[in-house]
Each structure stands twice: as structure tokens, then as C-alpha cells.
Amino acid sequence: MVSQNGVSNESNNKHAQDSGHSRLNELGYKQELKRDLSVLSNFAFSFSIISVLTGITTLYNSGLNFGGPVVLVYGWLVAGMFTMAVGLSMAEICSSYPTSGGLYYWSAKLAGVSWAPFASWITGWYNIVGQWAVTTSVNFSLAQLIGVIILLSTGGKNGGGYVASKYLVLAIHGGLLLVHAIINSLPISWLSFFGQLAAVWNILGVFFLMICIPVVATERASAEFVFTHFNTENESGISSKPYIFLIGLLMSQYTLTGYDASAHMSEETKSADINGPKGIISSIGISIIVGWGYLLGITFAVTDIPRLLSPDNDAGGYAIAEIFYQAFKSRFGSGTGGIICLLVVAVAIFFCAMSSLTSNSRMVYAFSRDGAMPLSFLWHKVNQQEVPIYAVWLSAFIAFCMALTSLGSIVAFQAMTSIAVIGLYIAYALPIFFRVTLARKSFVPGPFNLGKYGIIIGWISVAWVATISVLFSLPVAYPITDQTLNYTPVAVGGLFIIVVSYWIVSARHWFKGPVTNVGTHSNV
């Protein structure tokens, strides 16, 4: 279509009707990524990264060990309520600043001119390292689950089944990352399809498993057990119920992370100033509901906690795998149905890791666009399909390298992945903290805002992140030795020291925070 002056309306006004594109230009950035995601696609990325099948399945052992049913059922609701507060605060800021940089860009805008570079620097590094840790932990968890599936498929631990070595698990981890990187090299329209498929799979998978497992199981727990039993019989030397309940929240909080993906995908989302916030809030809300249903369904099949946690059971101590396997074995004489159910979970985790790498690469793209990373000129290049291809492969490579720590010590690997929870949540809290303090009066809200409740919800969010940062740094076993020490504060504090030292020695001289690029040449 050509206007009266002979200029193509399509070329001049390609994104004229899109509020997210207009807002991006106002913030000083040109459109380089393809803006092709709907609100459903944006939601799908965050929902599939939260992936209740992934987080709950992976850390169900922790929940059973620390508190059992009471912590699983009620701890989920407690963590969900406060996570929603954090999500609402982030959604409000996202509506005002819909860029791929997300959190670190928000911190720069909200901290004021003098504090902007440092606020942006520390938020960005916690966010990007937290995301690398998430990609690592999710993908490695899938590799471990595949090892358990192999074990059960070959007869189980008590039937001469094949036990995967740590080297095989690492090799599977590497192979999965290769597949994820290839998928993430495809155009965004393909990723949008996979993202929506992932969301559908997660929802249908949850409903299938929460109904199937209790129905198939020949022995079921009573409602009294599920809603009132508090397990204090852990082998960690901890007997205080409040202490057990608090550290038992880790499973829930680990699961409810990654929804910042909606912000990182905002430059590829239509009307991102509206749909980005919707993606954040809806992904958290729906995850809370379906996750609680999954927890209830699985926990009704729990009748013997010590047996499920025993490393001598058929699944080698992997609680949910043992639940699935024994449910079908007791009913039909074969655990094949349980293995199929585990494959349903494995596919969900596969999609979770895929979407995590997508979000991760967009953060690398945005952070390097502002010159914050070594070789920034390379990582923010986009290819002919408008995909930040180098950022994708860098993120996959780092996720593989982080998993190498598992060869030396599983304790070291756990310390590395602990950044996935606390590191990410610190990055979530920093822009919210600046919003309720330095920018309390200057913040200009976007189409989605919390009105007069923004400050209150913001302070609740900051307080919750401070609380879990302390909780998940506490010892989880006594007596404390080099093998039982909780290395979380070491990992998170070590990251802080490295980032701040780099800032003092070098970055403060050249990093000025987010750099606008309107009017510059494309990086293609």
C-alpha cells in the first residue's frame, strides 16, 4: 500500500500502531528483534520456565524431607502469595519500561542519574548469572531424570538396573543443551509455537498426573495425612518445626522463578507495555493453581516417606519417580506406566530448559547491547532471522561449563545452582527497592499500574526477598562439615564480591548504564 506522497505506509508505519514499539523508541532503542509474539506467547515462555512439573518434581525430595505434606501443601501457598506480590511489582515496572534488558534497565531508570550505572551493573550481573544458573540446574535436572528413567527401564536399582555415572549424566546434559541451542537458533515464530506447545503440555500434564497417580495407586494417604502430617524425621539433625517449615519452602520458591522471561521477551511482544505485565502475572497465578493441584495429587499417593527417600528403593531415592513406578507396579504388576508418566514430566522439563535458554539469551543480548559484557560487540549481534544467535550459543556453553562442577563435588554444584533462586530474586528485588525509595515520587507508571498500592506491595516484595535470602542461606544439616555446609551464601556473596570488585577496578570508568541506539546502524 502506498500513500499519496508515494512513500510506503507499510515501511514507514510498520509498527506505528504498536504501543510497545513506540515506547521502546521513547526509551531510546530501535526495533532490532522481530515483534511477533502475542500475549499468549509471552505468557507461555514464563509459564514454561516456571514449569511446576519441573520444580516440584526436582525438589519434591526436599519438601518431603523437611516438613512433608504440611510444608508441601501450605508452604506452596505461602511462597505463592509472596511471589505474586513480587510479580505484581515487576509487572508495574515492566509496563513503564518494556525492554529486553528488563531488570537492569529498570534499576538504571529508577535509581536516578548518579546511581544509575552501578545499580544497572549489579542488577544486570545478578540477573544474568542467576539465569545461567537456572538454565544449568533445569537442564542438569532433566539429565538426572533421564538417568532415573534408564535405571527403572532396565529393572530398577533392586532389579539390576543400569545406574548412570556422573560422566554420562554430564554428557546427556551437554547433548540436551546442544538441542536447545539449535531450537533457539530458529526464528521467533518457531519459538513462539514451541512456547505455546510447552504451556499446553505443562497444563495438560499436571492435570493428567494429579488424577492418574492417586487413581492408579493401590494405597493412598488419608486427607488427614495430606493436610496435617508434619514430618520431623529427617536425617539432618534438625527438630525445630518452625526451622523445618522455613527451609522446606525452598521447593516452592525454586519452582516459582523465571517469570522475568516475560520482560526479556518484551521487545518481541506486541503491545509489550500491556502484554508483558499480563504475561508475568498470569504465569505466576496459573502456576500457583495448577502447581497446588499437582502437589495434592502426588501427595495423596505418599504412604511411606522414609521408603520414598531411601537410596535403596528402585528409583535410587528419587521420590516422585518411586511414587509413579510403584503406583503402576502395585496395580498392574509392571512399572511401565510409571515410566511413561516420568516421560511426561521429562518433556515438560525439556520445554522449561528450552524457554530458559531463550530468556537467558535475550538478557545477554540486551546487556551486551549496553556494553556490559566482555566482547559485547559480538553477543548483541542478530542474524537474518532477527535472532541474537551468538547470545544463544554463549548461554548454552556457559550452562555446560557450570555443570562441570558436578564432577568434582555435588556440593559445589549445588552451591553454583543456589544462585538460581537467591541470585535471581536479588535481581528482582533491586529495581523494586529503587521504585519504592529513590523513585517513589518520580516513577511514571505505564498502562498497567498498582495505583496507591504500588508502594505497599513493593515493600512486601523487598521484605520477602530479604527473608528468603536469609532462609536459604541457613544450614540444612547438623553437625556442619564441608559436606553439609550450605554454600549458598558463599556462592551469592562471592558473586557480589567479584561484581563489585570489577566495578571498582574497571567498569566504573566506562560503563554508563543502558546506552540508547536510536539512529545507529543495525547490527545485522
According to the model, what pLDDT value does residue 334 have?
92
According to the model, what pLDDT value does residue 173 have?
97
Q: Distance between CA 30 and CA 458 in Å, rounded?
A: 30
What are the two backbone dihedrals, phi and then psi, of residue 153, each rounded to the nearest 5 degrees?
Answer: -70, -20
According to the model, what pLDDT value does residue 199 have?
87
Instruction: Write out the three cell numbers for 444.
Output: 511514571
Q: Which helix (H) or strand (E) holds 186?
A: none
According to the model, what pLDDT value does residue 395 have?
94
Better-scored residue on pLDDT, 145 or 29: 145
pLDDT digits 0-9 by tens, 357-406: 988 888 898 888 888 888 878 887 887 777 889 999 999 999 999 999 88
Instruction: Write out the three cell numbers for 228.
Output: 496435617
Q: Distance between CA 207 and CA 342 in Å, rounded?
A: 14
Cα→Cα distances 438→121, 434, 442, Å? 17, 5, 8
According to the model, what pLDDT value does residue 1 have?
40
pLDDT digits 0-9 by tens, 152-203: 999 999 888 999 999 999 999 999 999 999 999 998 888 888 888 988 998 8
310: left (phi over 0), alpha (psi -120 to 50) or beta: beta
Buried-exposed string 448-464: b where 16+ CB fall within 10 A, e elsewhere: bbbeeebbebbbbbbeb
355 neighbors 261 (Cβ within 8 angstroms):
yes
pLDDT digits 0-9 by tens, 408-455: 777 767 776 677 889 899 999 999 999 999 999 899 999 999 999 999
427 neighbors 123 (Cβ within 8 angstroms):
yes
> How many CA atoms within 13 Å lie on the side-chain side of 390?
16
What DSSP line would sit under 34-50, residue for residue? ---B-HHHHHHHHHHHH
**Mean pLDDT score across all residues of the chain:** 87
Q: With the CA atoms of 56, 266, 184 and 53 taken in that order, what torsion angle do they form, in degrees rounded to the nearest 10?
A: 10
According to the model, what pLDDT value does residue 29 have?
64
Buried-exposed string 163-185: b where 16+ CB fall within 10 A, e elsewhere: ebeeeebbebbbebbeebbebbb
Instruction: Write out the three cell numbers for 395.
Output: 548461554
The SS3 call for residue 2 is: strand
pLDDT digits 0-9 by tens, 506-521: 999 989 888 765 554 4
Tell me what percent of the residues of the chain surpass a pLDDT of 70. Answer: 92
Angle at Cα 137 formed by Cα 128 and Cα 469, nearest 5°? Answer: 65
CATH number of 33-509: 1.20.1740.10
From the CB of residue 515, how many other CB atoms can be counted at a distance below 10 Å? Answer: 13
